[in-house]
Amino acid sequence: MAIRNLWRSYERGSETVHALAEFDLTVQPGEMVGIVGRSGSGKTTLLNQIGCLDRPTTGQVIIAGTDVTALPERELVAFRRDHIGFIFQLFYLLPTLSVAENVGMPMLFARAHDRERVRAICERVGLADQMTALPGSLDGGDMQRVAIARALVNDPALLLADEPTGRLERQARDEVLDIFDDLRADGLAIVMATHDLEQAARCGRVIELRDGRRLEHAYEDSWPKAHCAT
């Protein structure tokens, strides 16, 4: 995945706010990149551009060899479904559907439902015994596992996570990151926005945003150790 000179600007009254400016980033398969920065620095804006949930003002986002910024809306929807998984702080599960039905939902849109695939992905994230449960009976950590399984069911190349553990207790947080580690080791590219420096420390590389711009850190690759030396 590669981002080239990405800008996302908003008009606010008579002024233009650059939520993202001059942003470049390349993420390789099997890499987990953390995005940090204070509130309003542009983390969500960035993930939304990469995830095709919003269109940049200018610049390119290239995923699996395709410049997604050039795709018409119809193709963009299919591209997002087939290539990108997205996880949010709030899990956005459908409460009246079982775990397995929630996980299989993206396949219905792709018209390719596959029970074995749903089972395999549920097992992978540790939900094998809860496939018939309703989301309301699960704790937060398990709800996020369902959201992760749903994000992965169409076998995307890229997983985007916006504060995925913001609502979780410590143990559940660590378990979500264990799942990310496992997926990353299997070749998935992961981009995760987080406020939590300890979590960022588990990313191979950390990018800091300030006012929509990428800060140049001499210690980008050793960022976690520099910040979490305690």
Ligand X SMILES: Nc1ncnc2c1ncn2[C@@H]1O[C@H](COP(=O)(O)OP(=O)(O)OP(=O)(O)O)[C@@H](O)[C@H]1O
Whether 88 and 162 have beta carbons less than 8 Å apart is answered as yes
Burial class (CB in 10 A: 0-12, 13-18, 19+), 41: buried
What residue has token string 């299919």?
78
For the CB of residue 188, give the shortest distance to Mg ion in the complex, in Å.
22
Question: Pairing between strand 158-162 and 58-63?
Answer: unpaired
- Segment 2-41, which members bind ligand X (CB under 6 A)? 10, 17, 19, 37, 39-41
**Interaction between residue 166 and ligand X (CB under 6 A):** no
Tokens of 220: 């980008």
Stretch that binds ligand X, among 25-33, 43-51, 105-113, 130-138 (CB under 6 A): 43-51
Footprint of Mg ion (CB under 5 A): 43-44
According to the binding rule CB under 6 A, does residue 168 interact with ligand X?
no
Task: Pick what 171 binds: Mg ion, ligand X, none; C-beta below 5 to 8 Å, kind-dependent.
Answer: none
Q: Which is nearer to ligand X, 44 or 165 (CB)?
A: 44
Name the residue number minimizing CB distance to Mg ion: 44
Cα 117-106-108 angle, rounded to 5 deg = 85
Least distance to ligand X, CB of residue 216, Å: 18
Cα–Cα nearest to 88, from 142, 147, 137, 139? 147
44-73 mask for ligand X (x: CB under 6 A)?
Answer: xx----------------------------
From ligand X, Mg ion, none, interface partner of 102 (C-beta below 5 to 8 A by class): none
- The item of ligand X, Mg ion, none sharing an interface with residue 45, based on CB under 5 to 8 Å by kind, is ligand X
Q: Which of 37, 141 has the CB closer to ligand X?
A: 37
Alpha carbon distance 74, 192 (integer Å): 26
Q: Which does 219 bind (CB under 5 to 8 A by kind): ligand X, Mg ion, none?
A: none
Helix, strand or coil for residue 73? helix
At 164 the three-state DSSP class reads: coil
Least Cβ distance, residue 92 to Mg ion (angstroms): 15
Tell me the site size for ligand X, rule CB under 6 A.
11
- Please say which residue, 44 or 102, places its beta carbon nearer to ligand X: 44
Characterize the bridge pairing of strands 32-36 and 189-193: parallel
DSSP letter at 129?
A: G
Q: Which helix (H) or strand (E) holds 16?
A: strand 15-26
User: Residue numbers of the site for ligand X (CB under 6 A)?
Assistant: 10, 17, 19, 37, 39-45
